[in-house]
Every structure is written in structure tokens, then in C-alpha cells.
């Protein structure tokens, strides 16, 4: 009985889309693609492209062949790598709207080819979930997400891996009927009669998804079309005038602000008003609360406190003697000696290890933030002035995620700092780097605050 019910649903679905794409219809798609490779492959995520050819066995069932190409590089050797996934799958099409719009779910076989500085192939399973938006009887826009699962990869790199992808592009239906799921369209506005709420739209008028032109819409149902309605949000049942406004929506002083929200309802005719209906206060372009005519510092940064003359108050948030506008290291702990840039003087501390505060990275990557680069330039200048010292850059993470991944990330981040210092004048013989992953915490990993403290870069003097 259950099999009969499923069969009936599929037959009804097939009947509803028979005019959109019948058995024998071809679909050709070209797309751009982003691939997120599994961490075990150590391949950089990158943009690529590809194409697919689909053949509809039934109006709701298509056989698809797909190929893509991504040029990227190894995260370990930095040598070029080419990724070429070849996929074959069976896809179920669930129609939504006209012009062959709908959801697509599919699964099948994938063969991943890796070339250039590497040379190996893997076989696995592939899945797809996506949506096609029909733009015309033949053309549409597709956006899909894919997942390629490989078990027992070649070379024994891991038990399995998964590559994720997102792709978008244009598709062309060949042998597709012109009406989508609704073939009859009396007013020829592109919306089938069964879905058209305005079945007599004048020729050439642009319409919305309901088949209505702007001159035919009446969003608030007050019997005044939106095009002429000065008060488009009238409540249900309110009596309105010819302009579509109720008594509560009038604008007695004609200043463009309706009476219910007009804080100055008797503004003289011709006066400019703000969005409250009142004559605006004198201009204040930098929004610091001091009118331009009295502002001696008209370009004050947004949100910064100012004096009565409109000039910024020199704040020193961390109390290190360097005001925030010049402080490259704004969160220096209290009591630490700093230089003119507001950064810790690393070789005047008794401690041999210094946490490089402000040295941060993009989430999950070994890419320095702009703020971190400013801090490291200051550190580099201190190292160049003290060539007698040898230092080690230590990278640390919290315990979130896999231990091996954290170790690789900490090594990469420490090397990034080392490379940046060398690029800014520090001799290679003066600095080394090492990653420790999550092995050396300085705070409990059980709280967000503790984990934040453990994600750090340290400078350790080795002589």
C-alpha cells in the first residue's frame, strides 16, 4: 500500500512538470565553483569552474555527467596542484513555479584526479543539493552544493575524506516547453493563468511573481492601487480618501511627514524638515554633537568623545601613557613598560617569554590581520636594535578541534610571524619558530575566556 502511495505521488509530480521538461530534454550547465578540500589532503581551498550535461529520463528524473577544474596549491610545499573531479549521478527534480524552476537532489559516483606536483586518483560517492531558477522557457540560473566522499583514499593518507563545494551558473534546457509548470498565459506576461492574480495585464508591463503590474497592485487592500497610494500601509477596514490615506495618515502641514509621526505638525510652508517633521538643527557633518560652525576639528572620528570645541578627547584606554590614536598595542597589561608606539619593550623585562598581544590571525588560517602587522613591525624594529639576542616564535592554540589540525595551524602561524619579521629586517639567524598546538595552555580550556588566552603567539629569548 505504501509503495502504491509513493508511486501515485511521483506520477502526479511528473504530470505537473511534463510541460517544463519532458523525457528526452537535455540540460547544459556552465558554472563557477568553490572547493573546500579535506584537511587531510593539505590542499588550499580555491575557485574553479566546470560544466555538466543532463538528460531527463523522466520529467522528474535526470542522468547527469559533470566535470570541473580547480588550479590551486599544496599547503605544505606551496607547489601547484590541479583538481579534476568527474561525476556521474542520478538526480530527482522537485518543481517549484514556472520555467522549470525547482529543487534538485542527487547522488552518484565521483572520480577525483589530482595532478601537477602530485599524481593520484581516488574513487568515491558524490551528492548534490541545489535549486534552479527559470529565467525563460530555456534559460535558468542554478546554484548547487556538492559533497564528495572518498573511502580508503589512494596512498593511505587517511581512512576517508570529504571535499565540499559550492557552484553557480547558467543552464540551458533543450527540448523544453515554453510555459514551465503553467502552459496557458492569456495576457502573455510570463506567469501562467493558474498562478496569475492579474490575468488581464496590459502588454509590455513588467509584473511580479503573482502576474501583477505596479499599476494593478493594491498591497493594503484599500481599493487604491499602489501606484497612486500615498499611504500604502493603511490598516484593514480603514476608510481612505482618493490618495489612499485614512484620517490617521494625513499630512496637515504638507512637509512630507504624516501626522501620526510628525513631531512638529505646524511647520511653515516651504521649510525643509528632517524625518521627524521638524526643522533640522545646524549641520554637524562628523556627528560629534558640535555644530559645524563651531567645530574646530570637523573631521573627528565617528564615536570618539570630543571637547566643546569639537576636537577628540585623547583617551588612553590601557593606561600605558600612549593615547589610543597612536597606540599600536591597545590592550597592554597594566604595569608593563612600553615604547612610543604603545607596545611592550620586550628586552627590558626580566621574563624571557613575552606574549605578543595584538598578533592575531584570520579565523582558522595563518593569515595576519592588519592590526597584527602593525604590532609586528614594532617588534621587528626592537629586534633589529638588539641583534645580540636570539628569539623563538612559539605558536599556540586552544583544544577546539582535532589535535593534529591544531598543531599544523600553530606551526603555520609561528612560521608566518617568523617570515614577516625577516621581511621587515630581522636577520634569519636571530629568529626561529615552533608550533605547540594545544599542548601548552596558560588557562583552562573549559571557558571561552580561557580558550581565548590559549590562542596566542609568544616570543621567547633563547640566549
Determine the pLDDT at residue 2: 46
User: How does pLDDT run across 77-90, given as a tens digit for each residue?
Assistant: 999 999 999 999 99
Tell me the pLDDT band of 240, cut-offs 50, 70 and 90: confident
Question: What is the reported pLDDT for 298?
Answer: 79
Asked if residue 6 lies in contact with residue 49, where contact means CB atoms within 8 angstroms, the answer is no
Phi and psi at 31, nearest 5°, equal -145, 155
pLDDT at res. 220: 77
The highest-confidence range among 13-27, 133-147, 223-237, 288-302, by mean pLDDT, is: 133-147
Q: Which residues contact 309 (CB under 8 A, 6 or more apart)?
A: 290, 294, 295, 296, 297
Instruction: With a cut of 90, say whether residue 92 has pLDDT above it.
Output: yes
237: left (phi over 0), alpha (psi -120 to 50) or beta: left
Say if residue 211's pLDDT is above 90. Answer: no
Query: Residue 179 — very low, low, confident or very high, per pLDDT cuts 50/70/90?
Result: very low
Residue 354: strand, helix, or coil: strand
In contact, 291 and 264? CB cutoff 8 Å = no
pLDDT at position 335: 67
With contact defined as beta carbons under 8 Å apart, do 132 and 101 qualify? yes
Domains in the chain: ranges and CATH: 2-174 (2.40.160.20), 353-461 (3.30.1330.60)
Closest CA to 130 of 105, 153, 163, 155: 105
When mean pLDDT is compared over 1-10, 168-177, 309-318, 450-459, the highest value belongs to 450-459
Q: pLDDT (tens digit, 9 = 90+) per residue, 389-426?
A: 899 999 999 999 999 999 999 999 999 999 999 999 99
pLDDT band at 314, cuts 50/70/90?
low
* Residue range 418-450, pLDDT digits in tens: 999 999 999 999 999 999 999 999 999 999 999
Q: Give the three cell numbers for residue 238.
A: 480603514
* 237: number of Cβ within 10 Å: 8
Place of cell 490617521: 248
Lowest-pLDDT range of 149-153, 173-177, 371-375: 173-177
Q: Please check the confidence at residue 103 and state whether its pLDDT lies above 90.
A: yes
User: Binning pLDDT at 50, 70 and 90, where does residue 297 land?
Assistant: confident
Over residues 251-265, the mean pLDDT reads 80
pLDDT at 66 over 50: yes
Q: Are 198 and 191 in contact (CB under 8 A)?
A: no
Grid cell locating 149: 566522499
Nearest to 211 by CA among 177, 182, 171, 170: 182
Predicted local distance difference test score (pLDDT) of residue 357 = 85
pLDDT at 245: 79
Can you tell me the mean pLDDT for 366-370? 93
Q: Is the pLDDT of residue 181 over 50?
A: no
What's the pLDDT score for residue 350? Answer: 61
pLDDT exceeds 60 at position 336: yes
What the block records as the C-alpha cell of 325 is 590614536
9-23, 177-191, 266-280, 289-303: which has the minimum mean pLDDT? 9-23
Q: How far apart are the first and last CA of the chain?
A: 82
Q: β-pairing, 391-396 with 431-435?
A: parallel
Distance CA 279, CA 232 (A): 26
Q: What percentage of the chain carries pLDDT values higher than 90? A: 44
pLDDT, average across residues 357-365: 90
Does the model's pTM come out above 0.75?
no
Mean pLDDT taken over the chain? 83
Give the pLDDT mean for 311-328: 70
Amino acid at each position: 500500500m505504501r509503495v502504491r502511495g509513493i508511486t501515485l505521488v511521483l506520477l502526479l509530480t511528473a504530470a505537473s512538470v511534463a510541460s517544463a521538461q519532458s523525457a528526452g530534454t537535455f540540460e547544459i550547465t556552465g558554472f563557477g565553483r568553490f572547493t573546500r578540500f579535506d584537511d587531510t589532503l593539505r590542499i588550499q581551498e580555491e575557485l574553479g569552474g566546470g560544466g555538466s550535461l543532463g538528460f531527463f529520463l523522466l520529467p522528474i528524473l535526470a542522468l547527469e555527467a559533470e566535470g570541473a577544474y580547480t588550479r590551486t596549491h599544496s599547503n605544505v610545499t606551496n607547489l601547484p596542484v590541479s583538481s579534476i573531479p568527474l561525476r556521474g549521478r542520478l538526480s530527482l527534480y522537485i518543481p517549484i513555479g514556472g520555467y522549470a524552476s525547482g529543487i534538485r537532489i542527487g547522488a552518484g559516483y565521483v572520480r577525483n584526479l589530482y595532478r601537477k606536483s602530485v599524481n593520484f586518483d581516488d574513487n568515491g560517492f558524490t551528492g548534490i543539493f541545489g535549486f534552479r531558477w527559470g529565467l525563460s522557457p530555456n534559460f535558468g540560473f542554478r546554484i548547487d552544493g556538492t559533497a564528495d566522499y572518498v573511502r580508503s583514499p589512494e596512498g593511505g593518507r587517511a581512512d576517508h575524506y570529504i571535499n565540499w563545494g559550492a557552484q553557480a551558473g547558467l543552464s540551458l534546457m533543450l527540448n523544453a516547453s515554453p510555459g514551465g509548470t503553467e502552459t496557458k498565459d492569456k495576457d502573455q506576461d510570463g506567469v501562467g493563468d493558474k498562478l496569475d492574480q492579474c490575468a488581464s495585464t496590459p502588454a509590455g508591463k513588467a509584473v511580479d511573481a503573482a502576474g501583477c503590474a505596479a499599476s494593478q497592485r493594491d498591497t493594503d487592500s484599500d481599493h487604491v492601487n499602489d501606484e497612486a497610494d500615498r499611504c500604502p500601509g493603511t490598516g484593514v477596514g480603514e476608510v481612505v480618501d482618493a490618495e489612499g490615506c485614512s484620517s490617521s495618515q494625513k499630512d496637515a502641514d504638507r512637509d512630507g511627514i504624516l501626522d501620526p509621526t510628525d513631531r512638529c505638525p505646524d511647520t511653515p510652508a516651504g521649510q525643509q524638515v528632517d524625518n521627524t517633521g521638524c526643522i533640522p538643527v545646524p549641520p554637524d557633518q562628523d556627528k560629534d554633537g558640535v555644530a559645524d560652525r563651531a567645530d574646530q576639528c570637523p573631521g573627528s572620528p565617528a564615536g570618539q568623545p570630543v571637547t566643546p570645541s569639537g576636537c577628540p578627547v585623547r583617551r588612553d584606554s590601557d593606561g600605558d601613557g600612549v593615547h589610543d590614536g597612536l597606540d599600536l598595542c591597545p590592550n597592554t597589561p597594566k604595569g608593563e613598560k612600553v615604547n612610543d608606539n604603545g607596545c611592550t619593550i620586550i628586552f627590558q623585562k626580566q621574563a624571557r617569554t613575552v606574549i605578543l598581544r595584538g598578533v592575531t590571525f584570520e579565523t582558522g588560517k595563518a593569515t595576519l590581520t592588519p592590526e597584527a602587522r602593525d604590532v609586528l613591525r614594532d617588534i621587528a624594529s626592537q629586534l633589529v636594535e638588539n641583534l645580540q639576542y636570539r628569539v623563538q616564535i612559539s605558536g599556540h592554540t586552544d583544544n577546539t578541534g582535532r589535535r593534529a589540525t591544531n598543531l599544523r595551524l600553530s606551526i603555520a602561524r609561528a612560521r608566518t610571524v617568523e617570515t614577516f619579521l625577516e621581511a621587515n629586517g630581522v636577520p634569519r639567524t636571530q629568529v626561529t619558530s615552533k608550533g605547540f598546538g594545544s599542548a601548552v595552555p596558560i588557562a583552562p580550556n573549559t571557558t571561552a575566556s580561557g580558550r581565548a588566552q590559549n590562542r596566542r603567539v609568544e616570543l621567547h629569548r633563547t640566549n
